[in-house]
Amino acid sequence: MQEAALYLQALGIVSALGIGKDETVAALQGLRPSSMAARPGYLPEREVVVGEVPGTLEALPAGMDAHDTRTNRLLWAAARQIRPEIEAALGRYGAGRIGVVLGTSTSGIEEGTAAYAHYLQDGRLPDGFVYRRQELSGPAEFLRDALGVAGPAYTISTACSSSAKVLAAGRRLVRMGLCDAVLVGGVDGLCRFTVAGFDALSSVSATLCNPMSTNRDGINIGEGAALFLMGREEAPVALLGVGESSDAHHPSAPHPEGKGAIAAMRMALAEAGLTPDEISYLNLHGTATPLNDEMEARAVVEVLGHHVAASSTKPLTGHTLGAAGAIEAAILWLLLAVPGMSLPRHVWDGAADPALPELALVTGARLVPKGRIAMMSSSFAFGGSNAAVILARGAGAA
């Protein structure tokens, strides 16, 4: 028996597309630029294209100094956007019935890197340094403390699948009766350590990333946060299915045949009770690395066929790592919830790789279909951790 769907009742988002839903929608529709640009400071002696969040981030609430990291400021920028819905849930259910499940991969490592540089120069850590800011649990603990919720609060860190997997984890908390509502999402701040690490793997592109192109040569790192309020009450966007798999093929390379990706996508379809031809749009993982795009193209055709509309939004946001699954699910949420949206265009040079099966990449204006439709987003991570998420228009949708 298929279990009843849960709903993503509210969304806060911040990324290189902008701060908040309005700026994000405008950038997705080509009405304002993304802030992807070559910038100094992330790699020694050269600039690198990254997706920085534009503008100045607001300080954390009073009393939260121990949690003060760029990652948590990004998370707070997303949380503030849905504060009224969170307060309403607190009033309805009580603090102990609301949980927090977040994905991240950087937490406060940038602040730790800066503190270590200070130590190397001065022989001591800087005043006010708090070691636990670096812990992966930090974002979930910060949000719990800042909002005053008292349900389960924890972080999932499985690299680039982290914040896709939180949707399944949060759903389990509700279905098990442990929570009535859960704050689920992901956050990662730009981090010199991370950029240097990917550069050491020869995985960072010298220019804007070029997914599915024969000329693709690597990723651009980005930052951002997306936060949903999940619960049983009907809302315009429903979470229909989440597929998770682990093929454990290699520490950093995907399975060449996409076995884990295929398993996750098929599991999501089965949970949603949908056939492949009922997926209206696929947000690709689309990192623009040679191995990921080859694997993913084959997996997409195996599961969904050649004709599903698809695009990668990583040239617009950068690869936000632990936040990627949530931000790309948030893009689906906006496509389903905001009337009159067009599907995001696939930004690339148009030079198709003849070694890859052909995909129906969105290269021109194409309106989101009307009616009750479903969309999928896929996330594939180091270590063979894979996740696929299906969202659909729910009750009250246009």
Q: Which domain holds residue 165?
A: 6-393
Transcribe 93-113 into DSSP letters: H-GGGEEEEEE-S-TTHHHHH
398 residues of the chain, pLDDT tens digit each: 467 789 999 999 999 999 999 999 999 999 999 999 999 999 998 999 999 999 899 999 999 999 999 999 999 999 999 999 999 999 999 999 999 999 999 999 999 999 999 999 999 999 989 999 999 999 999 999 999 999 999 999 999 999 999 999 999 999 999 999 999 999 999 999 999 999 999 999 989 999 999 999 999 999 999 999 999 999 999 999 999 999 887 676 777 777 999 999 999 999 999 999 999 999 999 999 999 999 999 999 999 999 999 999 999 999 999 999 999 999 999 999 999 999 999 999 999 999 999 999 999 999 999 999 999 999 999 788 999 999 999 754 44
pLDDT at 2: 62
Asked if 336 contacts 306 with a C-beta cutoff of 8 angstroms, the reply is no
Domain contains 154? yes
Asked if 85 contacts 255 with a C-beta cutoff of 8 angstroms, the reply is no
Give the integer Cα–Cα distance in Å for 114 and 129.
Answer: 10
pLDDT at 395: 56
Encoded tokens for 86: 């969170």
pTM of the model: 0.96
Give the integer Cα–Cα distance in Å for 234 and 395.
Answer: 6
Encoded tokens for 118: 């200070």
Residue identified by tokens 């909002």 is: 147
pLDDT at 258: 76
Encoded tokens for 59: 């300080």
Task: Name every residue whose Cβ is closer than 8 Å to that of residue 32 and which is 6 or more positions away in sequence.
Answer: 18, 23, 26
Domain contains 196? yes
Task: Give the count of domains, the chain.
Answer: 1
Q: How many helices (H) and strands (E) does the chain have?
A: 11, 15
Domain contains 1? no
Please report, for residues 18, 199, 207, 293, 297, the alpha-carbon distance to residue 353 in angstroms, rounded to integers and kept in the order given.
Answer: 31, 23, 18, 10, 11
Residue type, 23: E
Cβ of 375: how many Cβ atoms within 10 Å?
27
Domain contains 79? yes
Give the integer Cα–Cα distance in Å for 318 and 27.
Answer: 14
Cα Rg, the chain, nearest whole Å = 20
Domain contains 398? no
Domain contains 272? yes
Domain contains 15? yes
Asked if 146 contacts 60 with a C-beta cutoff of 8 angstroms, the reply is yes
- CATH number of the domain to which 225 belongs: 3.40.47.10
User: Active-site positions?
Assistant: 160, 285, 319
* Helix (H), strand (E) at residue 6: strand 6-15
Look at strands 98-103 and 181-188 and give their pairing.
parallel
Asked if 204 contacts 45 with a C-beta cutoff of 8 angstroms, the reply is no
Using DSSP's 3-state secondary structure scheme, residue 45 falls into: coil
Domain contains 286? yes
3-state percent breakdown (helix, strand, coil) of the chain, nearest 5: 35, 25, 40
